């Protein structure tokens, strides 16, 4: 019979990924993405975009930001990116914990709100400096804009009676201006659609002043607290980067 300590030592060697940690001093983003949401949303939500679905995503992003104490969260379509500063130390920066817990919390929050089981995957991104962070979010926003245009064209054609294959073929390899024109011909100006659909939204911390009464002497008190706020009308490209820089520079630290 093997000594129990020896057994544990030997078996633990199989926990190969447990030692993996986020690189010290690096910025990190946890990104979760709805699993198979093309099919999941098909019967349940309006296409291409549904404000009810979007509200569930914002609620899920808020839960992640609050629970993991990130700086900000950005959501577009069925994905959420939560940003953490280099000095962030939760869960000892263990990758397995962060990826599994973020996917778990996202799945639980969304499922609770939707009332039907939904699953998210999770992954982690590392960046050396603020420049890399801005590039990351520029990339996710550009992806969101591209998919929003594609989604609007696809579902407009489907609603006209085209099959999935026909609509896909019609749009295959087409330029951005072709897609804008396709919508315009049908009375839809892509640039006038709600910003949350085209540019995604940001959830971030904001300061507010709480008024109260001191129970000891009845005097009025004012304390500064922080709460989550949503930027639902985001700018794009360089202006989005400027906005993110402002948020990073002014974001209130965790309340004592």
Residues lying near ligand GTP in the complex (CB under 6 A) are found at 33-38, 41, 45-50, 53-54, 77-78, 151
- From ligand GTP, Mg ion, none, interface partner of 130 (C-beta below 5 to 8 A by class): none
Nearest distance from C-beta of residue 193 to ligand GTP, angstroms: 12
The piece of 76-84, 160-168, 179-187, 215-223 that touches Mg ion (CB under 5 A) is 76-84
- From Mg ion, ligand GTP, none, interface partner of 212 (C-beta below 5 to 8 A by class): none
The piece of 35-43, 112-120, 178-186, 201-209 that touches Mg ion (CB under 5 A) is 35-43
Given its phi and psi angles, is residue 67 left (phi above 0), alpha (psi -120 to 50 degrees) or beta? alpha
CA angle 12, 16, 17 (to 5 degrees): 125
For ligand GTP, the closer CB: 62 or 75: 75
For 138, residues 6+ apart whose C-beta sits below 8 A from its C-beta are: 237, 240, 241
User: Whole-angstrom Cα distance, residue 160 to residue 178?
Assistant: 18
For ligand GTP, the closer CB: 88 or 155: 155
DSSP state string for 126-139: EESSHHHHHHHHHH
Coil/strand/helix, residue 47 = coil
DSSP structure class, residue 71: S
Nearest residue to 200 via CA among 236, 243, 228: 236
For 114, residues 6+ apart whose C-beta sits below 8 A from its C-beta are: 44, 56
For ligand GTP, the closer CB: 36 or 212: 36
For Mg ion, the closer CB: 105 or 134: 105
- From ligand GTP, Mg ion, none, interface partner of 25 (C-beta below 5 to 8 A by class): none
User: Whole-angstrom Cα distance, residue 78 to residue 147?
Assistant: 11
Q: Is 34 in the site for Mg ion (CB under 5 A)?
A: yes
User: Whole-angstrom Cα distance, residue 131 to residue 30?
Assistant: 17
For Mg ion, the closer CB: 37 or 137: 37
Q: Is 67 in the site for Mg ion (CB under 5 A)?
A: no
For ligand GTP, the closer CB: 94 or 121: 121
Q: Is 144 in the site for Mg ion (CB under 5 A)?
A: no
Nearest distance from C-beta of residue 50 to ligand GTP, angstroms: 4
Nearest distance from C-beta of residue 4 to ligand GTP, angstroms: 42
Residue linked to tokens 């400027």: 242
- Determine which residue in the list 78, 84, 141, 234 makes contact with Mg ion, applying CB under 5 A: 78
User: Could you tell me if 242 and 63 are in contact, meaning their C-beta atoms sit under 8 angstroms apart?
Assistant: no
Report the interface residues with Mg ion, using CB under 5 A. 33-34, 37, 78
């Amino acid at each position: 019979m093997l000594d129990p300590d020896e057994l544990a030592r030997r078996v633990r060697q199989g926990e190969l990924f447990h030692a993996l940690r986020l690189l010290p001093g690096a910025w990190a983003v946890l990104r979760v993405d709805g699993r198979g949401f093309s099919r999941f949303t098909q019967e349940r939500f309006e296409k291409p975009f549904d404000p009810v679905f979007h509200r569930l995503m914002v609620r899920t992003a808020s839960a992640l930001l609050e629970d993991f104490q990130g700086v900000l969260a950005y959501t577009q379509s069925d994905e959420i990116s939560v940003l953490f500063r280099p000095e962030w130390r939760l869960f000892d920066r263990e990758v397995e914990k962060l990826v599994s817990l973020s996917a778990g919390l996202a799945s639980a929050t969304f499922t609770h709100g939707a009332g039907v089981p939904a699953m998210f995957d999770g992954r982690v991104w590392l960046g050396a400096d603020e420049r890399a962070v801005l590039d990351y979010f520029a990339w996710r926003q550009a992806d969101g804009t591209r998919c929003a245009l594609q989604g609007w064209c696809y579902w407009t054609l489907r609603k006209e009676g085209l099959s999935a294959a026909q609509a896909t073929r019609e749009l295959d390899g087409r330029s951005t201006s072709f897609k804008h024109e396709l919508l315009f011909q049908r009375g839809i100006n892509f640039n006038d659609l709600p910003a949350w659909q085209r540019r995604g939204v940001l959830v971030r911390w904001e300061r507010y002043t709480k008024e109260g009464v001191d129970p000891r002497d009845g005097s009025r008190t004012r304390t500064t607290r922080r709460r989550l706020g949503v930027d639902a009308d985001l700018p794009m490209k360089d202006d989005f980067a400027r906005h993110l820089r402002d948020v990073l520079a002014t974001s209130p630290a965790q309340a004592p």
